[in-house]
Structure 1
């Protein structure tokens, strides 16, 4: 925005005290030089910031309120945060100021909840929806077992992609945006656990792949360096191995693959993270490694979290509702992985209420070769009956407290 000569500021956890004081002083005058301000919903809850907004509004300088990741407002959203719900303050205090809510992952129920929670006027609402279909993304589920290390499978795939680009530089150029390297394959690998980030990145580096870990437990300087160099396509920073702490607000256009190392916590989370691939419109792969051990481990972790919920007090109903949604969304994602009888693009579209899209043009593993998909599932997963029997015998000792 600054390169476009727009006066923009942000207040967040990394903003220095001197910078914050300067921004606040500018806002307090009622006619700020700042044209666009980025803040967190938690900051919007502070009384002193709300007083500043009232002054700005009284001078008719508050032009618009935009809420990104608006699914966080809803108790039925996959990433509900109470501070987002408190943004209803804006419509109560400033009913004449236009409000814009944006999200890529809202079902019909979530959209209705956003409208109701914020107190938006139904007679004045304009809703704009895009299709969930992105034909340049190839969705694929790869089946695995805890008994087998799926790292060699992924490394073979990535090395094959590298070899193919090296052997066909003209094709590599077609898959690469202007002024970007053709000798790398930028990607993201999502893991559920921090320990996997660092160990997996180290294994990739040992095999000649420029990979860096990214999770909330790393020093801020290390995370910032990894992010900036990855976005800039610096050699040695081709792949980011990350937890879900990575990606919000990131808009790197040439991400050629997104891999989920285990099943994510929700279908919305999977769709949002996979959607960071191929933003330049060029072909990209969205690969999910799925095993029934991961499925049961995710369910066990959810049961553990549910047992920790308070039974009394403010917000209990909202937390219970959010946990119910998490269970429904995880079940939908498991069905997405287990089913081998239809297009994956259509399965995602149906979940979000977007049922008009046609089957993809060979852009998922089912449409590409349904018979081979069934065979891979049969090879990769033992039958549900055998798996259940083996688990009862103690073969799969799944303890969520280990993770």
Structure 2
């Protein structure tokens, strides 16, 4: 069931210009997302960007990075938070989840119908957009037409935050460098005064430094969370000591019950071969890698999220 928006003045106890305290932010968190408290460095990141400060946030997968820009979007009475995301399927899923909670969010991509895109653009061109969060790809930001639209939104004082997910993609030192991310280096000059939030789950010190410099972050708050997740059991098995690696993997997956799982491989062909082997052994699975077209990758992701398939055999691109 969709929730009605929590009025900002009720959540904050004052006008939109009043600085938000922890109590007001926790109230937004509980009302919209049902979480009793913030986790890890979430609150630090949220308070930083709401105060207008740039922030670099390193959190493990599943650490709640999305809260760091979704709560700021709800804490402002007007304006939008722009979220840069590299994968259309992930944008779709986040937007769908937000809409189910009654939060005005949309994404723009080449896969959408013209009528849908026109409606979003009309809202952005209005004097007071109803959108709170807008998800886009780095490729779209690089287009002159969309950048012009963003500058107009910024001129009207309606661009509250730019959040860059998977920020390590901007670094040539990273494992998943994407040239389109490099063009995000112009955001600081185009949108002075707008805080930039860079988020990633994977960045060694060299990559972290490159991300901060490439995005021209100004005196950013640097937040790093531990990669240890107490809710996860870790176990190491050496392939050389196993009689049959495939049989061992099948046994592990079958003994885990009806749960979703990811098996990471280093090469695309290995993903295809292992997926076929697991399927022959009665395990519901599919391969996921850059060699598949966008439609098929989206289908695999949707089927895995909805538990139609149990296992995804993937390259690291699935993490992105």
TM-aligned CA deviation for residue 230 of structure 1: 2.3
Q: Residues 244 and 29 (structure 1 numbering): CA distance in 2 closer, same or farther, change over 3 Å?
A: same
Structure 2 residue 101 is matched with structure 1 residue 29? no
How big is the shift at 1:109? Answer: 2.5
2:228 to 116, 133, 157: 133
Question: Residue 197 of structure 1 contacts residue 213 of structure 1 at CA under 8 Å; is this kept in 2?
Answer: yes
**Change over 3 Å in CA distance of 1:215–1:108 after alignment to 2:** closer
In the TM superposition, what is the alpha-carbon distance from 1:149 to its structure 2 partner? Answer: 5.8
Instruction: Measure, in 1, the Cα distance between the counterparts of 2:175 and 2:270.
Output: 23
Normalised by the length of structure 1, the TM-score is 0.50
* 1:132 Cα deviation after fit: 2.0
Question: Superposition RMSD on alpha carbons, in Å?
Answer: 2.6
Task: Give how far 1:216 is off.
Answer: 4.1
Match of 1:204 among 262, 278, 294: 278
- Whether contact under 8 Å (1:30, 1:61) holds in the other structure is no
**CA distance, structure 2, for counterparts of residue 34 and residue 50 of structure 1:** 18
In structure 1, the partner of 2:104 is 7
Q: Is the 8 Å Cα contact of residues 31 and 59 (structure 1) preserved in structure 2?
A: no
What is the CA distance between 1:221 and its match in structure 2? Answer: 5.0
2:261 paired with 1:187: yes
Structure 1 equivalent of residue 146 of structure 2: 49
Unaligned runs of 5+ residues in structure 1 are 163-182, 249-403
Aligned partners of 1:142, 1:48: CA distance in 2, in Å? 52
Residue equivalent to 2:248: 153
Larger deviation, residues 106-115 vs 95-104: 106-115
CA positional deviation for 1:54? 1.2
Q: Work out the CA distance in 2 between the residues paired with 1:133 and 1:66.
A: 25
Q: Distance in 2 between matches of 1:22 and 1:63?
A: 21
* SS of structure 2 residue aligned to 1:63: strand
For the residues of structure 2 that align with 1:195 and 1:149, how far apart are their CA atoms? Answer: 20
Larger deviation, residues 81-90 vs 53-62: 81-90
The answer on whether the counterparts of 1:76 and 1:109 sit within 8 Å (CA) in structure 2 is yes
Instruction: Tell me the secondary structure at the aligned position of residue 33 of structure 1.
Output: coil
Secondary structure of the corresponding residue to residue 102 of structure 2: coil
Query: Does the C-alpha gap of structure 1 residues 80 and 196 become closer, same or farther in structure 2, counting only changes over 3 Å?
Result: closer
Contact 1:11 1:39 in 2 (8 A): yes
State the distance in 2 between where 1:31 and 1:126 align. Answer: 30
The 1:215/1:115 distance shift into structure 2, 3 A limit, reads closer
For 1:242-257, list aligned pairs within 5 A.
242-248=314-320
Note the residue ranges of structure 2 that are not aligned, 5 or more in a row.
1-97
Q: What does residue 315 of structure 1 align with? A: none
Report the structure number with the largest CA radius of gyration.
1
Query: How many residues end up aligned between the 2 structures?
Result: 222
**Alignment check: 8 A CA contact 1:66 1:100 kept:** yes
**1:240 Cα shift?**
1.4
**Hey, what's the Cα distance between the residues in 2 that align with 1:224 and 1:84?**
21
After superposition, the C-alpha distances for 1:187-230 in whole angstroms (9 at most, x for unaligned) are 11122333433332232222222222333444655444433332
Secondary structure class of the residue paired with 1:213: strand
1:231 counterpart = 2:305: yes
